[in-house]
A and B are shown apart, each in its own frame.
Chain A
């Protein structure tokens, strides 16, 4: 399953093969950016239409259940809620174009402020979970692949099958129970007051999110490295008497890098779903909690902003992965596609 979203790369690159290596790269980049913008446009419209069609609109969120009919009407007029869908969407797009995301109904502050505050909490969590998964996964995967069939490999492989299918919130609950309730070592609620306290609050959520992804990173690394180890050029290098260490560095890692990088991006994207759940378990005030709170309170501008931010992040991650592969794999760079 390693040949992931990279397929688009090879196709694009193949179509524009030229003598100048910067040409296809540039064209590729521009194409992807335009595609990303189109994706964001589609997401924003789909979301807008969904909110438009949903029962219990924004006026209920703004006015609360006790508002009079006149108050509701006033709100509907202020926010153009009686206009047809496309007109409303036009208004919305126009404000988006000036980077105005509106104000949160709930917190009475610009959405960008809420979003930035939550992002500052979420980013360390996201990056530490991702770092844990990638470093641990690559190390374990390499270890297992180079000792194929041995005790380490068997142990790693069966642990990976178990860990990869354990739901993130289940890991989170079990960790809370073990380290928070039974042992009392680490805090299980909130995101900390800064400094060491923040770090201590980060440990359990990061481990909870990282474990599942560490398992998939291990699995992909192991099979990617084993594929390369099985290839003829490694056998040939061995027969020439080149040391295992050099083979690992020169042949194996360079060739296995493409599926591993693809996976790294995939994991980061998969983390966005887990983020919501894990932040909810640990009452972490990040992007995930912001989204669930906004949905619960029908805080429409926040829902829109968070979803668009997530979509933009996903587009950027995919772009970064494709660019990394472009740099890593000379076959893609020269427009020959991947083997």
Chain B
């Protein structure tokens, strides 16, 4: 993958090009991520209305000074609901991203370092699971069990792991064969110590990539699941749910549907752009060394 020897000139040139290309998009994306994170943390203070307050008298209000994005069919404030939607909309992907990064790293580093039977077995399991589309499994499993949000999260976590383990494992295998690892082993360092202090730091860029890729994938898949009515209960202020429930009223107040759609797109795209950038920075730093 990115492990071929690279000539310095090409690398410098590529980095320069990448920086020039990514700057404006990156600034927008980074601000979106920061705003989303801020909203998630101080959400009750930001929402101008109670997101779950039903008031038939103000149903289908157009966007205005009182209801910034108007109200839905039950008179609930759309903007406040989008704000409240950060709970499931961002926390779920965050849990997914953290869980995937930790588990994938653990498996990849141990299998990649130990090699032999452990690695072969891991490879086999990954090969089988790799072709399984997590989304289809999630739809079937959550649909049949009638299980909620946590089951959806668990399924996406398990079936999202193979691609990430594969990515990290290939990075570990290349590094585990380098002379400095051999030297550390000869010096009598324990396997754990070599894995944690000698291997792990060198794949930091890949960890960041895995984290942000999984985060994006979590936003996309979890919101798609709740859009299908799987995961979060009906009426919850969740972006996917809001889109599904307000879709029938596109003519009355389009913002009740378009608003959460834009929220999903903005956060997913921003996370991806930021992850892409951090990854390329880390990676290029590793290359110059």
**A: which residues have CB within 8 A of B?**
1-3, 5, 7-8, 39, 47, 50-51, 53-56, 148-149, 154, 157-158, 161-162, 164-170, 173-174, 176-177, 180-181, 230, 269-270, 272-274, 276-277, 280-281, 291-292, 295-296, 303, 307, 310, 314-315, 318
Contact = CB atoms under 8 A, between A and B. Distances in A.
A165 B21 contact: no
Nearest to B216: A165
Interface in B211-268: 216, 219-221, 223-224, 227-228, 240, 243, 247, 250-251, 254, 257-258, 261, 264-265, 268
Given A270-B133, A272-B133, A295-B144, A280 B223 contact: no
Given A39-B128, A54-B145, A177-B250, A277 B227 contact: yes
B99 interface: no
B103 interface: no
Contacts of B144: 50-51, 54, 295, 303
A177 B247 CA distance: 9
B268 A230 contact: no
Interface string B132-144: 1111100111011
B21 A158 contact: yes
Contacts of A167: 219-220, 223-224, 264-265, 268
B265 A170 contact: yes
Interface residues on B, range: 35 or more
A280 B224 CA distance: 11
B224 A149 contact: no
Contacts of B127: 5, 7-8
Which residue, A168, A295, A318, has most C-beta atoms of chain B within 10 A?
A295
A292 B223 contact: no
Interface of B: 1, 10, 13, 17, 20-22, 25, 127-128, 130-136, 139-141, 143-146, 167, 170, 216, 219-221, 223-224, 227-228, 240, 243, 247, 250-251, 254, 257-258, 261, 264-265, 268-269, 271-273, 276
Contacts of A164: 272
Contacts of A53: 145
A31 B139 CA distance: 30
Contact of B143 (A2, A169, A281, A292): A292
Given A158-B25, A276-B136, A295-B139, A174 B228 contact: no
The 3 closest A-B pairs by CB, nearest first: A273-B135, A295-B143, A165-B272
Contact of A176 (B224, B250, B269): B250
A179 to B, nearest CB: 12
B46 to A, nearest CB: 23
A168 B228 CA distance: 13
B228 A161 contact: no
A295 B140 contact: yes
Nearest to A278: B224
Given A5-B131, A166-B269, A277-B135, 9 more contacts: A2-B1, A50-B141, A167-B265, A230-B10, A269-B133, A292-B143, A307-B136, A310-B136, A318-B131
A291 B139 contact: yes
Contacts of B273: 161-162, 165
A273 B265 contact: no
21 contacts: A51-B144, A162-B25, A167-B219, A167-B268, A168-B224, A169-B224, A170-B223, A177-B258, A230-B10, A269-B131, A269-B133, A273-B136, A277-B224, A280-B227, A281-B247, A291-B140, A295-B139, A303-B144, A307-B136, A310-B136, A314-B132
Contact of B146 (A39, A56, A158): A56
A173 B243 contact: yes
B136 A5 contact: no
A157 B167 CA distance: 22
B269 A276 contact: no
A272 to B, nearest CB: 5
Contact of A314 (B10, B133, B135): B133
Contact of B228 (A5, A177, A292, A318): A292
B228 A273 contact: no
A2 B145 CA distance: 35
A331 B240 CA distance: 47
A170 B261 contact: yes
Contacts of B265: 166-167, 170, 174
Contacts of B254: 177, 181
A162 B272 CA distance: 8
A90 to B, nearest CB: 21
B130 A161 contact: no
A326 to B, nearest CB: 17
A156 to B, nearest CB: 10
B276 A161 contact: yes
Contacts of B264: 167, 170
A51 to B, nearest CB: 6
Given A5-B127, A169-B224, A295-B140, A161 B261 contact: no
B258 A174 contact: yes
A280 to B, nearest CB: 6
Nearest to B142: A295
A318 B131 CA distance: 8
A165 B268 contact: yes
A165 B220 contact: yes
A315 B271 CA distance: 32
Nearest to B212: A165
A69 B9 CA distance: 79
Contacts of B240: 169
Contacts of A180: 250
A168 to B, nearest CB: 7
